[in-house]
Amino acid sequence: MRLGILTSGGDCPGLNAVIRGFCKYAFNNIDGVEIYGIEEGYLGLIEKRYRQIFPADVENILDLGGTILGSTRTPYKMMTLSENGERTWLQSMVENYKKLKLDGLIALGGAGTHKTASLLSVEGCNVIGLPKTIDNDIYGTDVTFGFNTAVQTAADAIKRIRTTADSHSRVFFVEVMGNKVGWLTLYAGIASGADGIFIPEISYDEARLADYLKKRKQSGCRSTIIAVAEGAISTREAAMGKKERKDYLASMGNASAAQRCATVAEYNTGIPCHATVLGHVQRGGEPCAYDKVLCTKIGAYGAQLAQSGKYGVTVAVRGLKLSYNSLTEIAGKTKYIPADSQIVSLAKSMGIFFGD
Ligand code: F6P
């Protein structure tokens, strides 16, 4: 059996742990298996860049951040575009899949990766997706690998901001990644004891924010920390049309979500407000113990699916068990924080401010 494996899209802690889990299961349980690491994500499949992976290659990579295979973003919308009648990326990938005589391809990636995996699957390639992303936005799985490590990293950073904010009686808006969903901000905010949490799923009201900050100051709170998702927007911004919003953002110097919060809140209250953007620190480094276990399980389970010829699926976590969903069913869908989220309502009932 010849299996290809690739890591695609933005990286996260735990990719190497999954590669290791996958390879170790395959080498130990599939007679004569050959594993080929496709380099730089789908780009490697487009350009036929790969190398064989041997057992020694996956020794001692459980703790290693990043990905030994490299990763790139190859946008889904580019997959079927053709200039001057040239082969599309999709056609090149299918062709190279066949040239490499692969029996299966394992794609570790997020939402975009899964869309392309679904496309490849429809084109007749045997594909299995493994749900990676710090954003935790892949539809149909309780959790994605890399998420819990990023929660820990972001929460640690927010806690550090709390001590300096307290020393100087400051207000901080701390921006957390997460693309268009608020999972990472919600969990990191709760885990760090943030006073407020702004997520894309709940627009914040600028006037309420101003009141909230003034009241906290009046009641003697030394610091206020609001965890802001990079995709968070105010109700005012949400009400704008596309062009109006573009112009507004340009007038704000295309400031990030937390920077816009700080600017508007300072203007409305006269209280000095600071913004800190955590950025890619959230994607780097060693996975936490939870992710090391999850990644090992997901990798080994992915190999088990390949061994049994179960393709066209992506691995999903359901409670404590691993299962799978059909790629075509989940591709293009996003797992948002639901409107009736229990964790949000509990957080609100404790007084955490969501800006609504
Ligand atoms: O999907 C993971 C993620 O880190 C998002 O949270 C973020 O919006 C995006 O990737 C950043 O991408 P890049 O590393 O390409 O700037």
Q: For the whole model, what pTM was predicted?
A: 0.97
10 lines ligand 1 (CB under 6 A): yes
Q: How far is the CA of 176 from the centre of ligand 1 (A)?
A: 11
pLDDT of 84 > 90? The answer is: no
Of 220, 192, 351, 213, nearest to 274 (Cα)?
A: 213
Q: How far is the CA of 73 from the centre of ligand 1 (A)?
A: 10
Q: Whose CA is nearest to atom 7 of ligand 1?
A: 179
* 195 belongs to the catalytic site: no
- The CA distance from 40 to 268, in Å, is 47
- The CA distance from 133 to 137, in Å, is 8
Give residue 85's pLDDT band: very low, low, confident or very high (50, 70, 90). confident
**pLDDT tens digits along 270-291:** 999 999 999 999 999 999 999 9
Q: What contacts 320, CB < 8 A, 6 or more positions away?
A: none
Best mutation site among 71, 132, 135 for ligand 1, i.e. most ligand atoms within 8 A of its Cβ? 135
Q: Whose CA is nearest to atom 12 of ligand 1?
A: 10
**pLDDT tens digits along 311-329:** 999 999 999 999 999 999 9
**pLDDT tens digits along 206-243:** 999 999 999 999 999 999 999 999 999 999 999 999 99
Among 11, 135, 137, 195, the one annotated catalytic: 135
Q: What is the model's pLDDT at position 324?
A: 98
283 lines ligand 1 (CB under 6 A): yes
pLDDT of 70 > 90? The answer is: yes
Cross-strand bridge partners of residue 132: 145
Q: For the residues 189-216, what does the mean pLDDT come to?
A: 98
Q: What angle do CA 97, 101, 107 make, to 5 degrees?
A: 45
- The CA distance from 251 to 255, in Å, is 9
